[in-house]
Amino acid sequence: MSPRKPLAALGALAMTAALAVAAPASGALAGPATGTDAGAAAGTTAGPPGQISVVGDTSPIHDPALTVDDDGTWWVYSTGLLNRENGGTVQMWSSHDDGTTWAYEGTVWDEIPGWIDEHFSDGALPDNLWAPEVYEHDGTYYLYYSASRFGTNNSVTALATNTTLDPDDPDYEWVDQGPVITSPAPIENGKEFNAIDAGIVTGKDGTPYMAIGSHWYGIFLVEISWPSGKPVAGALENAVHLVDRFAPGNRVEAPYIYERAGWYYLFVSFDACCAGADSTYKIVVGRSRSVTGPYLDKEGRDMVGGGGTVLLESNGPVVGPGGQSVHDGVLAYHYYDGANEEIPYFPTLGLHRMAWKAGWPLVR
């Protein structure tokens, strides 16, 4: 079911809750990027590189997953509201003018699936569902999302499937497919990880993978299979370690891998999310010729070991940009809006058509 209650009706509690899970963004308010590769238009959405000036329902949006359906409708799926406000489940937003004007479309379900509460029944229950990812394969949409006991790696990434993204389609129904990956559990070489923030990518040979992780030992790549959308046998033991900062707290999360012109680009968020004006979130990137890495930054530093080139960071009223996804050359992210006088640092959708220079993405 998809309750489509207007955002105006959600009340002050929803606003306060959303602030507790979001932070200010940066750089996205800068002018259009100017340096582009020859042929950079290939593989990017039509339109000049630079910021997309979004209007309409653009907050509270956190951890946006951007996709475009066969009808050309742009969709963003985002983290649910805290305290299970409006159900606490994944939220949906649509645009019919190439990402400029956005409308709230409700939530995936009325409430968090009961099996999730059973999974966490030994202690505090999750307040909301986090960090969705939407991926289409062979006519099926796969919606990955996470639930976690905040501040721990007691987490699960789960899956729902649908044949359409349009809530008005008579065939519309998000079917719960249960858990995909859980933690705490050992991953590659017995390391600890956090089973949140899934991002799906397909290798050159057609093999699908899930990038996943947050803090602990960082980011890993896990092989999955279709049509289940779940890991193959031995996937955790054979996972590939993609990012590890080797710093206290290992603040890295939100992996998203995007293929362009023979390169795979790994986008992640560094530093502190979810602290409003004090958020230090930033988007960094590395690249590799192979989907399994290693991913190196512009200076040739491996992202396993602290590498990563900053793409977007706090700038003026844009605070803590991160929680990103990429679709057809468009970078989607949330930021905490310091220019919002009514609700300072409300989590807001940012979109930027990336330019490319010497094989690297630019947003300004």
CATH of residue 333's domain is: 2.115.10.20
40 phi-psi bin (left φ>0, alpha ψ -120 to 50, beta other) = alpha
What is the rounded CA–CA span in Å between residue 319 and residue 5?
Answer: 28
State the pLDDT at residue 47.
66
Average pLDDT over residues 330-354: 95
Pairing of strands 186-187, 240-243: unpaired
How many Å is the Cα radius of gyration of the chain? 19
Q: Are 276 and 23 in contact (CB under 8 A)?
A: yes
Structure tokens at 164: 């359409």
Q: Which amino acid, one-letter code, is at 276?
A: G
The residues, any chain, with a CB within 8 Å of residue 267's CB and separated by 6 or more, are 254, 255, 256, 257, 258, 283, 284, 285, 311, 324, 326, 331
State the pLDDT at residue 42.
39
| 7: pLDDT strictly greater than 80 | no
What is the rounded CA–CA span in Å between residue 95 and residue 199?
Answer: 22
**Quick one: pLDDT band at residue 277, thresholds 50, 70, 90?**
very high
> 238 lies in a domain?
yes
Average pLDDT over residues 76-81: 98
Q: Give SS3 for 296.
A: strand
| 27: pLDDT strictly greater than 80 | no
What is the rounded CA–CA span in Å between residue 347 and residue 307?
Answer: 28
Pairing of strands 175-183, 186-187: unpaired
> 212 lies in a domain?
yes
State the pLDDT at residue 201.
98
- Total domains present in the chain: 1
Helix (H) or strand (E) run with residue 118 in it: helix 114-119
> 327 lies in a domain?
yes
Closest CA to 324 of 224, 209, 218, 199: 199
Q: Are 17 and 84 in contact (CB under 8 A)?
A: no
| 14: pLDDT strictly greater than 70 | no
For 197-251, the pLDDT digits (tens) are 999 999 999 999 999 999 999 999 999 999 999 999 999 999 999 999 998 899 9
What sign does the CA torsion over 15, 21, 23, 25 have?
negative
**CA-based end-to-end distance of the chain:** 40
> 290 lies in a domain?
yes
Distances (CA, A) of 192 to 148, 182, 214, 265: 15, 11, 10, 24
What is the rounded CA–CA span in Å between residue 212 and residue 193?
Answer: 9
Q: What is the mean pLDDT of the chain?
A: 89
Could you tell me the residue range of the domain that residue 243 belongs to?
7-362
| 290 C-beta neighbours (distance < 10 Å), count | 12
State the pLDDT at residue 6.
44
- Residue 266's Cα: distance from chain center in Å? 12
> 2 lies in a domain?
no
Q: DSSP character for 232? A: P
> 103 lies in a domain?
yes
What is the rounded CA–CA span in Å between residue 351 and residue 349?
Answer: 7
Across 12-16, 141-145, 264-268, least confident range: 12-16
Closest CA to 63 of 100, 19, 101, 22: 22
Q: Is 63 known to be catalytic?
A: yes
Average pLDDT over residues 254-283: 96
Q: Is 98 known to be catalytic?
A: no
> 149 lies in a domain?
yes
Closest CA to 260 of 193, 190, 357: 357
The one catalytic residue in 63, 223, 313, 337 is 63
Closest CA to 350 of 47, 76, 33: 76
State the pLDDT at residue 46.
55
Q: Are 51 and 351 in contact (CB under 8 A)?
A: yes
Across 12-26, 135-149, 178-192, 295-309, least confident range: 12-26
> 307 lies in a domain?
yes
Q: Are 33 and 342 in contact (CB under 8 A)?
A: no
The one catalytic residue in 57, 85, 133, 253 is 253
| 88: pLDDT strictly greater than 90 | yes
Q: Are 274 and 343 in contact (CB under 8 A)?
A: no
**Quick one: pLDDT band at residue 48, thresholds 50, 70, 90?**
confident
| 144: pLDDT strictly greater than 80 | yes
